[in-house]
């Protein structure tokens, strides 16, 4: 986990008037160090031993605070559970159709596509999202070994 990312995120929260509680600090630290795009339940389970009085609702409420502050993105694809991604830079996701694993990948920005979409439709483009679906190596090897 990057200490710089954590410090910058905590500073951003403080600047926007958000009080830094031990739970907020721990949830943010977990998100920054995670590369699995966890659900709120996964975050709750990971931190439950350190914070026995923390509820799943506390995790959801803090994720909402982080999302509103622009620190995390809520990913609503894959299975029915929202997953959360600490936002540090523009990137895209590839999602396994079999197990739901989400992996980051980087690609040159799609500003030209946004510009064309705006020009053709007259929309003011605010953002975009690129999703790629397939079968992860682990699921592919499981399928191959059963054949």
Query: Which tens digit of pLDDT belongs to each residue from 7-39?
Result: 999 999 999 899 999 999 999 999 999 988 999
> Rounded to whole angstroms, how far apart are CA atoms 117 and 127?
11
Q: Are 100 and 141 within one domain?
A: yes
Domain co-membership, 63 together with 101: no
Q: What is the pLDDT of residue 78?
A: 57
Taking a C-beta distance cutoff of 8 angstroms, is the pair 127, 109 a contact? Answer: no
One domain, residues 63 and 118: no
80 & 94 share domain = no
Mean pLDDT of the residues in the chain = 89
**Alpha-carbon gap, residue 23 to 80, rounded angstroms:** 25
Long-range contacts of 50-59 (CB under 8 A, 24+ apart): 50/26, 51/22, 51/23, 51/26, 54/23, 58/23, 59/27
Which pLDDT belongs to residue 88?
A: 65
- Inter-residue contact 75 to 85 (CB < 8 Å): yes
Is 0.75 topped by the overall pTM? yes
Do residues 11 and 28 both lie within one domain?
yes
Considering the domain architecture, whether residues 95 and 118 belong to the same structural domain is answered as yes
Residues 79 and 103 in one domain: no
Could you tell me the residue range of the domain that residue 19 belongs to? 1-88
Q: Is the pLDDT of residue 141 over 70?
A: yes
Whether residues 40 and 95 share a domain: the answer is no
């Amino acid at each position: 986990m990057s200490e710089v990312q954590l410090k910058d995120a905590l500073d951003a929260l403080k600047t926007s008037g958000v009080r830094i509680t031990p739970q907020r600090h721990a949830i943010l630290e977990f998100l920054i160090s995670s590369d699995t795009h966890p659900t709120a339940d996964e975050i709750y389970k990971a931190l439950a031993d350190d914070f026995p009085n923390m509820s799943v609702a506390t995790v959801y409420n803090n994720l909402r605070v982080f999302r509103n502050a622009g620190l995390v993105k809520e990913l609503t694809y894959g299975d029915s559970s929202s997953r959360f991604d600490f936002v540090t830079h523009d990137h895209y996701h590839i999602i396994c159709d079999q197990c739901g694993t989400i992996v980051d990948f980087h690609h040159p920005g799609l500003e030209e596509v946004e510009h064309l979409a705006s020009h053709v439709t007259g929309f003011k483009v605010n953002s975009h999202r690129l999703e790629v679906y397939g079968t992860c190596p682990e699921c592919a090897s499981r399928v191959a070994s059963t054949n």
